[in-house]
A and B are shown apart, each in its own frame.
Chain A
Amino acid sequence: MTVGLVERAREGDDAAFTELVDMYGDRCYAIAYRILRDTERAQDAVQSAFLLCWRELPKLRDPERFSVWLHRLVVNSCYEEYRRHKRWSSNIRALPLDGPEGPDSIASVADRQALELAFGQLSPEHRAVVVLHHHVGMPLATIAEVVGVPLGTVKSRLFHATRILRTALGADPDTDIPEVRSA
């Protein structure tokens, strides 16, 4: 079904493209929000990615690769959005403390504060791998294809980023929290 929609959209059928937006929009937005930690910037990133997707879709040779390709566009768009924002914004931002907290919440307020701070130290490249792995549950080989780096680099980024997040939770107390830069 998706392949058929991609083929139709590739031929300029905007109704088919709208269906693709309906199918993938939520997932792309969830990924973008978790990389950028900001709803408005996530909306901008997703909008840019889908418009680029529409414009470049005729060049996609293999419709079966649409999902990986679209995720790549979203992640790249997040990188751009992150760097554009970083150029003029300060590093100080409010911590979102209004999430669920109670018997059903696994992450406490303190956990979330610690994770938010630690996550803020990660480069967008490290954030993307963490989100695609821990939130989306994407296989590492697919993540490698989405972010366009060798599998070893994906593992390395995931390892270091996860270590920093675990350290923030006090799980690995002997580890300092270094600033992770783009590999």
Chain B
Amino acid sequence: MNDTRDPNVIIGAWLDEGPTDLPESTRRAITTSVRTIDQRRGFTLPWTNRPVTSWFGPALVAAAVVVAVAGIYMLAPFGRTPSVGPPVGSPTASEEPPATPPPAAVGRIAFTRYDADIGPFGENLGTFIVNADGTGEQRLDLSVASDGVVWSPDGTRLLLTNAAGDGGRALPAVANADGSDAQVLGFDGPFGDVRCAAWTPDGQRLLCSVDARGDPNLAGIYSVAADGSDQPGQRLTTDSSVVVNGSISKCSGQDIPGDFSPDGTQFVFIRMLCGGGEDPAAGQTAEIRVGTVGEDQSVAITIPGIAHPLLPGARWSPDGQWIIFGGSSHLLYRVRPDGTDRQTIPVATPSLDAFLYRPDWSPDGSRIVFSMQAQSGGETELYSVAADGSDLQRITQRPGAEDYASWGPPAP
């Protein structure tokens, strides 16, 4: 095929056409105007001739102290010190080898690969399965495109979390483990995007967020039959739809599904919270919450700001003891389901600005898979570590950004 007829190349070329230089008249208008606009830095007391921020200056100082303390609180592991070995790559790793060998990476990892330059259409992009040791990668031939994938507990089916729906909606689909027979769950009625993230332990139901196109009486987290027979299913959260309007931005709070507990009686999810002031979207934070199926209430297990507002992921360990998630500090955390004992997972990253997100447990809970951009602007690949953060192993090697890793059992 001639590259110049590649639709994506044509789209890119078309977008590149047109003006790129800000007209001088507009530039002048901006720079002239700023000299006449008060930058809101307060006023000058006539008797001191000293600028002050505002009458609530002391309150701002106090707020700054709170922010600083919160920052320390966020970045430092707290609670009981995790009993972990030295991370691979740390100065002590070679001096003091672990007494027991690290757990083996067993099973299959499903993931999506996306290329920022190509999009999801190329032959080497889409939904993939790879052995947990990085061997045997294969691309699934799916009849529906999706940018997220989750193994069913028994490893026989795949949840496609964000399949292409009608009218541009995101809808879930369920397919066989080899990608065949993908069925989109239609969600007729007043529903917008429906995104699912987890299966119940028995594989019968899915944990989903339902966007009811602005109707607060319908939006929330739902438990939905995996065969789509009881849409929209059982509503699990009812208090997520908070809309904050500011003069700069508008922010809509929402709940993002995480995972069911191993016994299926509880679920973890991420609540996106709006900031205040004129730009509430800029101040968006997230908190991890745990709810009980059948009870219309949930409790926060992290304070706002710990979890990454956009890429947290939240997965329940197979033994039920921990919930793991990606933090706004770009590190991985684990926390008890009751909110105690939060700890960073001490991964020996290649650089200080590495970005780790969207983790998942291996079926036996001994290891964790996650996406990592090893350095700012670099490639995003899948890696795994032992549950204590040691034994960092790279799983994927090819171009493109790997995301939505889901660790399933070995092939039968």
Contacts and interface: CB of A to CB of B under 8 A. Distances in A.
Interface in B266-289: 272, 277-279, 281-282, 284
Contacts of A59: 277
A151 B311 contact: yes
A178 B168 CA distance: 7
B167 A14 contact: no
Interface stretch (B9-17, B149-157, B299-307): B9-17
Contact of B310 (A111, A131, A135, A141): A141
A134 B10 CA distance: 11
Given A107-B17, A135-B15, A140-B401, A51 B164 contact: no
B37 A55 contact: yes
Interface of A: 12, 14, 17-18, 21-22, 25-26, 28-30, 33-34, 39, 42-43, 46-47, 50-52, 54-59, 69, 72-73, 76, 96, 99-100, 105-107, 111-112, 115, 126, 130-131, 133-135, 137, 139-141, 144-145, 148-153, 155-156, 158-160, 162-163, 165-166, 169, 171, 178-181, 183
Contacts of A73: 248
A115 B40 CA distance: 43
B7 interface: yes
Contact of A134 (B15, B147, B256, B355): B15
Contacts of B148: 152
Chain B: number of interface residues, binned into ranges: 35 or more
Contacts, number: 192
B22 A28 contact: yes
22 contacts: A29-B23, A30-B18, A30-B20, A43-B26, A46-B26, A47-B29, A47-B30, A54-B34, A54-B39, A55-B39, A56-B279, A57-B39, A72-B249, A72-B282, A73-B248, A115-B11, A140-B401, A156-B170, A159-B120, A165-B11, A169-B7, A181-B167
Given A58-B41, A135-B15, 16 more contacts: A12-B39, A17-B34, A26-B22, A29-B26, A42-B19, A46-B26, A47-B26, A55-B37, A58-B39, A115-B11, A156-B147, A159-B164, A166-B8, A166-B121, A169-B10, A183-B192
Interface of B: 4, 7-23, 25-27, 29-31, 33-35, 37-41, 114, 116-117, 119-121, 145, 147-148, 161-162, 164, 166-168, 170, 192-193, 195, 211, 248-249, 251, 256, 272, 277-279, 281-282, 284, 310-311, 355, 373, 377, 401, 403
Contacts of A141: 310-311, 355, 373
B216 to A, nearest CB: 17
A163 B164 contact: yes
A138 B30 CA distance: 26
B22 A25 contact: yes
A98 B115 CA distance: 32
Contact of A151 (B16, B18, B310, B373): B310
Contacts of A162: 8, 11, 119, 121
B116 A139 contact: yes
Contacts of B119: 133, 158-159, 162
Contacts of B19: 29-30, 33, 39, 42
Contacts of A144: 310-311
Contact of B282 (A26, A148, A171): A148
A176 to B, nearest CB: 9
A36 B39 CA distance: 28
B310 A51 contact: no
Contacts of B161: 152
A128 B206 CA distance: 32
A107 B22 contact: no
B25 to A, nearest CB: 8
Contact of B31 (A14, A111, A139, A148): A14
B183 to A, nearest CB: 18
Give the 7 A-B residue pairs with the shortest CB-CB distance, closest first.
A171-B7, A106-B13, A25-B22, A148-B281, A29-B22, A180-B168, A160-B168
A135 B25 CA distance: 24
A166 B401 CA distance: 22
A141 B147 CA distance: 14
Nearest to B119: A162
Contacts of B39: 12, 54-55, 57-58
Nearest to B14: A107
Nearest to A52: B248
Nearest to B401: A140
A4 B397 CA distance: 38
Nearest to A143: B116
Contacts of A166: 7-8, 11, 121
A111 B4 CA distance: 12
Contacts of A69: 282
B33 to A, nearest CB: 6
A94 B398 CA distance: 44
B209 to A, nearest CB: 10
B167 A152 contact: no
Contact of A55 (B26, B29, B40): B40
Given A56-B278, A106-B4, A111-B10, A76 B249 contact: yes
Nearest to A11: B41
A83 B221 CA distance: 31
Contacts of B114: 140, 155
